[in-house]
Structure 1
Amino acid sequence: MRFKDWATRVLLISLMFAALIMVLLIGRGTKLHNNQITTYHPSNPRVTAWSQYPQVQFQSAKEPEKKTQRVIKSPVKTNKPLARYVTTQAFAHYRPNYQVASVDPSNYGERYTQDVNGIIVNNQPIVVLHETGYSASSAINFFQVAHNDESVQASYHALVKLDGVVVYLVPPEKRAFGAANSVFETPEGVETVQTNPNLPASVNNFAYHVSLETPPDSYDASSQQTHSGYTEAQYKSLAWLIAQSQVPDYRITTHHLVDRSGKKVDPINFDGRKFLSLLNTFRQVRPIYRVSK
């Protein structure tokens, strides 16, 4: 091979490597900034949905008033049996598209270990279901604007668009401002935490907030008669998202049920039976035993 031909090939290879390096640098420079939404295909593994959310010791697969716990006999001596949720094949086969949208830091905060009086709080997580009221984009735009007024600050951890796309907003380990002046009722009493002396107590400190996008024909709807409901894709993606948590069925609630302002009615026309049926196809209970020493 002549020196001229050899040099030409070396130059071409060098140019190819230089182009590749430029592409990689440009890719790193286009990370998510404020007021941007990044869309991903379900095969992209960059997002870990919300498995980071604090794990919950599963109490019962039945209603909360049924306090008996499912016990499976074992030849091995064990302590108190525990169980956890595991996802199913149906979960693995359904992979919704997702997006990641930034939220202004003024609209979310840290989860507290103590309330305003210094009392240690250790509430088990709950899931609170909402709806946007208007389009998903309008909600996201609001969350991306800085709000100095603490009574206006608001956010969800995630929302589900009409087409089933899951939008991740606030990291699960953070406290989203989804339900001011709120209480979660249980057979053992009420749960709420006050983290700001100037605002009413709320469930935000132990809640994971998920919202469904409101259908266009139901903007400003205030009753079931004026609300057309949600899409099949929304129900499936919502169940898929929550199936990744360890929050039991009876600690999944709605904004309407936890609200104490008397103003919140969302999510309107939500089919709880359909949702729970899908959720139970996406996850199942698996007992865990700890061997006594």
Structure 2
Amino acid sequence: MRFQDWATRVLLISLMFMALIVVLLIGRATKLHNNPTTSRISNPQVTAWSQYPQAQFQSAKEPEKKSQRVLKSLVKTNQPVARYVTTQVFAQYKPNYQVASVDPSNYGERYTQDVNGLSLNNQPIIVLHETGYSASSAINFFQVAHKDESVQASYHALVKLDGVVVYLVPPDKRAFGAANSVFDGSEGVETVQTNPNLPASVNNFAYHVSLETPPDSYDSSSQQTHSGYTEAQYHSLAWLIAQSQVPDYRITTHHLVDRSGKKVDPINFDGKKFLSLLNKYRQVRPIYRVSK
């Protein structure tokens, strides 16, 4: 046999073996992709607050139908992790926005430990408010220095009657939006005391968003009710929150978390309408990771 013929045969055999190996590898990858029992779930553990002015939060599992459920340990439940992704409807809606500074006395840092030195790992919640009066009056108040800690107050963001979004406090900072407050979830109450002289609150793990109150409520005799919020406000609110990873069941109101018995906001809030819009602006996308 000539050397050229021998070399040609060896080359052909080598190519056949390589093709066989490639086919086997493709088959193995396809099997892993189609078989959920061979997949492991991505499990991001670190709560991440985005850079100002937009809100990004901890990855969340697929929302459950029951409201205000606490995100359970993925190690215990082994449930698939999901991320929210914004939709075409979100991309088409572009509200105007403003940035307003807040006096440093009216917000602070998020704590990693409570007053007793216990580590804090609460998953974020979103608390909805209303201003009570005009947006400008609320912003003016936040821009004034307050030495009295019981008076200090702020939101992370505010939505005006015309749908303009006003960014106030960076999401990674602790806004003073709900004093003496508790988030009541399915696994118990969540609250954090960071000041021994003040009641515990949800502020350390909350993102506070407020709706501007309509003018017909400015009269003190009618502050228990009003005409409701504008279409633009509902759309801008849903648009803003669609950018977060906070599940529906961890979106609540000032009235529900308040323990002072004095807060009733947001008044006349249409929760079904808001959630319907939110679900149009974002969708759930499961995340899987192939096991090693």
- Any gaps of 5 or more consecutive residues in structure 1? 1-46, 70-78
Deviation at 1:82, TM superposition (A): 1.1
Separation (CA, whole Å) in 1 of partners of 2:109 and 2:227: 36
Structure 2 residue aligned with 1:141: 140
Shift of 1:117: 0.2
Gaps of 5+ in 2: 1-50, 73-77
Name the aligned partner's letter for residue 50 of structure 1.
Q
Alignment CA distance shift 1:86-1:178 (3 Å): same
Q: Kindly indicate whether residue 89 of structure 2 is the aligned counterpart of residue 58 of structure 1.
A: no
TM-score, structure 1 as length reference: 0.77
Q: Look up the SS of the partner of 2:285 in the other structure.
A: strand
Deviation at 1:250, TM superposition (A): 0.6
Does the CA contact (< 8 Å) of 1:131 and 1:214 recur in 2? yes
Q: Residue 81 of structure 1 aligns with which residue?
A: 80
What are the residue-to-residue correspondences of 1:91-110 with 2, within 5 Å? 91-110=90-109
State the SS of the aligned residue for 1:277. helix
How many residue pairs get aligned? The number is 235
In structure 2, what residue type is equivalent to 1:244?
Q
Identify the residue that residue 268 of structure 1 maps to in structure 2: 267
1:205 aligned onto 2:169: no
Aligned-residue CA RMSD (Å): 2.0
**1:190-269 superposed matches below 5 A:** 190-219=189-218, 220=220, 221-224=222-225, 227-269=226-268
C-alpha distance in structure 1 between counterparts of 2:269 and 2:167, whole Å: 21
Question: Does the 8 A contact of 1:183 with 1:191 survive in 2?
Answer: yes
Which aligned runs of 4 or more in structure 1 are off by greater than 4 angstroms?
64-67
- Alignment of 1:184 with 2:188, yes or no, is no
Q: Judge conservation of contact 2:62–2:286 (CA < 8 Å) in 1.
A: no
Provide the identity percentage.
82
Matched position secondary structure for 1:290: strand
Q: Select the structure of larger CA radius of gyration.
A: 2
User: 2:48 corresponds to which residue?
Assistant: none
Q: How many angstroms does 1:103 deviate by?
A: 0.1
Point out the structure with the larger helix share: 2
Alpha carbons of structure 1 residues 253 and 230: separation in structure 2 relative to 1, 3 Å: same
Q: Are the aligned partners of 1:107 and 1:147 in contact in 2 as well (CA < 8 Å)?
A: yes
1:223 is displaced (CA, Å) by 2.4
